[in-house]
Structures are given as structure tokens and as C-alpha cells.
Chains A and B, each alone.
Chain A
Amino acid sequence: MRNIFLFIRRYFNFLFFLLVQGIALYSLFTYNKFQEAAFMGVATETTGWFYKKYDGVESYFNLKESNAELAKQNEILLNQQGSNFYKADSSSKKVIDTVSKDSTGTQTREYLWREAKVVGNTVGLQNNYITIQRGEKQGVKKDMGVVSPSGVVGVVISASDNYAVVMSLLHRQSRVSAKIKKSGDLGIVQWDGENPMYVNMINVPKSVKLVKGDTIVTSQYSYLFPANLMIGTVDQIVEDNSSNFYVMKVKPAADFFKLEYVSVVENLQKEERKKLEEAAKKIQQ
């Protein structure tokens, strides 16, 4: 017994070092994006405050780019307004209304958009997160899509009262259902943690004809994003003879280095859809 105490006393420094390493490694390997531990909740609120203070200074440097980006988005939206279109005179001509809208006047809203200011962002790490200044009190909840004026940015994974943390596309666990705009072939966009200038698109069979510069958009299957939102363009097609699928390097449309304003998009029918799909799965089992 005495020897044990002597041993502990002699190697106390080393044992303490091992203990500290143990704590660090344990919290590193048991932590994942699904965990809503106290760490995330408290961290979001306090670090969000720091990020906001600093962003007050830093945001001036990107004003020009974010203005240009917002103006571009305005142009697209203005062009979609009904008043731009000439209406046919229906008294002298037979017109068939081809607009697929509910004519009874009750339209069901599927997606609701909310703007948010980006206050914190990293790009250089293996798992990158974005902090936005809009939380549960302002309607942001877990599992909502986040889109910048030029393209998809990520998914909300945790929200505190006034801030939310977004898992960026540049995160090794991020997966977005995507398709090639031209042909409609589906695939998955993810990131390998290596180069923050590119994300990868996988699961596209080699039978599909692909060209460099093809546009990648969100697919209609994703319940986080509306269909046909811009993700990026194909920059390089990697030859892999061992598989029947392409690996594509996709240049993201959103500029992760200069994020200023983003929109959080909520799918109002997500719960219903999830419930139905789970019920269907249960029947099959």
C-alpha cells in the first residue's frame, strides 16, 4: 500500500498529464454533430457575443462584395414579379392557364425564409462552423437549411436564444443531396476535409455525360432545401478506374471566405414528411 502511494507521488505529474489527455481525447471522440451537449448551448451564446463585437468592425471590409451580391439577387427576384408579364386578352382568345397554382386561393406554403447576419466563420479547420445572429427566439431551430445569396452554405445544427451554429458545407460530416442541373442525375455533395476551395460530389454513375463547368443544384429529394438552389460548378472530374462512379471536384458558388448575410430556410412540412416516411419504414419491417 505504501509503495502505491509512493508511486503516485513520484509520478504525479505524469499521471496528471495522462488524465488531462484522457479528458481531451474522450471529449474529442465522443463529440459529434448530433450531440446537443451543454458545451454547444453555452458556447454558442458566449462565443456568439465575442464574434458579434468583432464583426461590427470586420463587416466593413466586405461591404462592396455583399452589396453586389444582394443587388444581383434583387435583380433575379424583380424579374420574377407578376407585373413584368403581359397578360393575354382573354375575351378574344382562348387561354389555358398553365400556372400550377391552387386556383381556390388557398396556397400551402412549404418554405419560409428568414434573413440572418453571419457573425463568426472558420474555413481552415477540418470541421468548420458558422455562427449566425438569429436564434430560437427569432424562429431558427435545428435542421434548417442556410443559403447565401449565391449558393448553399450549410445546415443549422444547434440554436441558443439569440445565436445559431451552422455546420458549413466545409465540414466532414456534411452531406447535401444534389443533382446535375442539365441532366437531372442525382448525387451527394460532401467534403473530404482537405481543400476548402472545393467540395466533392459522389455517387454519380459513369454513364452520365459530364462536362467541366456543369452546374450542381440541390435535388428535389432533400427536405432541408427547396429544389434547384445553386450549390456550385464542376471544376474537375477525377478519374477513378476502380469504381463505376464519378468523383467530381465542385467549386462552391457561395464564397465561404466572405459570408456576410445568409437566409435560413425552414421547411414547414418537414415534420409531416418525416412522420410519414418513418411510418412507411415501420410497415416494411
Chain B
Amino acid sequence: MSDLVKNTVRFLLFILVQVLVLVKVKPLHQFVVPYLYFLYILWLPFNTPRLALTFIGFLFGFSLDYFVKTPGLHAAACALIAYVRPFLVSILISQEGADQNYKSPSVTSMGWAPYATYVVVLTLLHNTYLVFLEWMEMGSFLFFLGKVLGTTGVSLLLILLTELLFYRKQSFKTNTA
């Protein structure tokens, strides 16, 4: 499957799973909103241009907003993590040239520790910005903090499950072949 088709299908699947399943789940606690959809942005290929990445992030967030009727809320958070992503990748990539030899960020291409850091930092950033935008109008600081931590915890758990269930095979690309 070509990258374009694969990512388009993923786009739709992530939005539909978030809208039809995760938003409707009965909350475990008032601090917990299960967010998984932004994993799409973390999975985009290394060679996506920066400009396109920001735009895809914005578009992706806006499609979720379209369903849950909060125009701009998720779009802002997704554009932020899509913009920050290349900086983080360039800091965390350990092997020389891993971003050319592999297709997209994953455990195999980046290694366990860098990939985990990558996921945790972007998840925390996404949730902090999202809850901050919601919280600006009302609410206490303790609620803000609790919600960021609770939501991030559940997001990380969901991402771990998704990574284990849908293992992405990544072959080493060389230019010798």
C-alpha cells in the first residue's frame, strides 16, 4: 500500500474511533478523557515536509472538531504537536541516519527509550495545551493539573495497547538495492 493511501485510511480510522467510541465511554473519573486520535500525527513518515506536517495536524484536529463541535480546540493542539515533532525527532534520533533508513517513528526505528520519550513528551504537550484552552474560561488550577495528568496517563496506556496490538513492521531501507 502506498504511503498516501495508508495514511488516508489511518486518518479516517483514528477520527472514527475517537468520535464513535472513545468520546462516548463512561468516564472512570472526572479527570479522565481518553484521547488516542493524535497518535496519527506521531505515526506520520519521517520524510513529511515541515509545512505539510503542520497543515496535516491542523486539518486532522479540525476534522475531530467538526464532529464534537468545538471548532479550533483540537485543531490548535494538533497543529502544535505537529509543529514541534521534527525538533523532537532530530534531538532524539540516536543512530546516524535512522530517519532516512526507516519510514516512520517507531520502537524499531528509534529504539525503546527515545521512542518512549518522544511519545510521552508529545502526549503531555497535546493534553496540556488542550486542557489549558478549556480551562481558561473556568475552573481551578488543581483541576487543571489533575486533568492533564489523568488524561495523559490514560492516553499513554491506550497508545501502549495500540502499539502492541497493531505492531508496525519496519524494514531497513538501504540505497544499495
B26 x A13 contact (CB < 8 A): no
Tell me, rounded to whole Å, the shortest Cβ–Cβ distance linking A240 to chain B.
14
A20 x B58 contact (CB < 8 A): yes
Tell whether A47 pairs with B66 under 8 Å between CB atoms, given A12-B51, A121-B24, A193-B138: yes
Query: Taking beta carbons and an 8 Å cutoff, which residues of A are in contact with B?
Result: 12-13, 16-17, 20-21, 23-29, 31, 39-40, 43, 46-47, 50-51, 54, 58, 120-127, 129, 165, 172, 192-197, 257
| CB of B127 closer than 8 Å to a CB of A | no
Tell whether A126 pairs with B23 under 8 Å between CB atoms, given A17-B83, A24-B76, A43-B66: no
Tell me, rounded to whole Å, the shortest Cβ–Cβ distance linking A193 to chain B.
6
Tell whether A24 pairs with B30 under 8 Å between CB atoms, given A47-B66, A122-B24, A125-B23: no
Tell me, rounded to whole Å, the shortest Cβ–Cβ distance linking B75 to chain A.
4
B30 x A194 contact (CB < 8 A): yes
Tell me the complex Cα distance, A171–B8, Å: 33
Residues of A within 8 A of B55 (CB): 16, 20
- List B58-99 residues whose CB lies under 8 Å from chain A: 58, 61-62, 66-73, 75-76, 79-80, 83
| CB of B160 closer than 8 Å to a CB of A | no
| CB of B161 closer than 8 Å to a CB of A | no
Residues of A within 8 A of B68 (CB): 122, 125, 129
Tell whether A16 pairs with B69 under 8 Å between CB atoms, given A21-B76, A28-B76, A124-B34: no
Tell me, rounded to whole Å, the shortest Cβ–Cβ distance linking A54 to chain B.
5
Tell me the complex Cα distance, A58–B139, Å: 34
Identify A16's interface contact among B22, B24, B51, B70, CB under 8 A.
B51
| CB of B133 closer than 8 Å to a CB of A | yes
Tell me the complex Cα distance, A175–B38, Å: 33
- List B27-56 residues whose CB lies under 8 Å from chain A: 27, 30, 33-34, 50-51, 54-55
Identify A124's interface contact among B27, B79, B83, CB under 8 A.
B27
Tell me the complex Cα distance, A72–B139, Å: 38
Residues of A within 8 A of B51 (CB): 12-13, 16
A43 x B69 contact (CB < 8 A): yes
Nearest residue, chain A, Cβ from B76: A24
| CB of B172 closer than 8 Å to a CB of A | no
Tell me the complex Cα distance, A255–B95, Å: 53
Residues of A within 8 A of B34 (CB): 124
Residues of B within 8 A of A24 (CB): 58, 61-62, 72-73, 75-76, 79
17 contacts between A and B (CB under 8 A): A21-B80, A24-B72, A29-B72, A39-B71, A43-B67, A43-B69, A122-B68, A123-B26, A123-B27, A124-B22, A124-B23, A124-B25, A125-B23, A125-B68, A125-B70, A126-B134, A196-B30
Tell me, rounded to whole Å, the shortest Cβ–Cβ distance linking A50 to chain B.
8
A196 x B66 contact (CB < 8 A): no
Tell me the complex Cα distance, A159–B23, Å: 22
B23 x A122 contact (CB < 8 A): yes
Tell whether A192 pairs with B27 under 8 Å between CB atoms, given A17-B79, A28-B133, A47-B67: no
Tell me, rounded to whole Å, the shortest Cβ–Cβ distance linking A67 to chain B.
20
Residues of A within 8 A of B33 (CB): 124-125
| CB of B112 closer than 8 Å to a CB of A | no
Nearest residue, chain B, Cβ from A167: B69
Tell me the complex Cα distance, A16–B67, Å: 25
Residues of A within 8 A of B23 (CB): 122-125
Tell me, rounded to whole Å, the shortest Cβ–Cβ distance linking A56 to chain B.
12
Tell whether A257 pairs with B66 under 8 Å between CB atoms, given A193-B139, A194-B139, A194-B143: no
